[in-house]
């Protein structure tokens, strides 16, 4: 998954750069390439990245419940 994300990121960046390079000579192709690259970045790369980063985590660790509030309160008291 890590290598898929890296390769897809570089493909998106190269596609956007190539689109801006082609835009002065062929505006339709340049705009199409930029648009497709951005769509791939938003609809494929970002969800894959978010899934990759959150797949082994527990959402309960990041929820603000009474137990976590007490942990934060105890941590602040230890710092002082």
Residue with tokens 């190539």, as numbered in its chain: 18
Helix 46-54 / helix 2-22 crossing angle, nearest 10 deg: 160
Query: What's the CA gap between 22 and 7, in Å, rounded?
Result: 22
Q: Where are the domains of the chain?
A: 2-79
**Of 7-11, 12-16, 71-75, which gets the smallest average pLDDT?**
71-75
CB 1 within 8 A of CB 48: yes
pTM: 0.72
Predicted local distance difference test score (pLDDT) of residue 26: 93
pLDDT in tens, 36-80: 999 999 999 999 999 999 888 887 777 888 888 888 888 888 876
- Taking the C-alpha atoms of residue 45 and residue 43, their distance in angstroms, rounded to an integer, is 6
**What pLDDT does 32 receive?**
97
């Amino acid at each position: 998954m890590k290598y898929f994300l890296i390769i897809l990121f570089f493909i998106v960046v190269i596609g956007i750069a190539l689109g801006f390079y082609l835009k002065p000579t062929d505006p339709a192709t340049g705009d199409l390439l930029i648009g497709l690259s951005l769509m791939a970045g938003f609809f494929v790369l970002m969800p894959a990245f978010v899934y990759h980063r959150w797949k082994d985590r527990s959402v309960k660790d990041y929820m603000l419940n009474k137990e976590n509030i007490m942990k934060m309160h105890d941590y602040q008291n230890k710092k002082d």
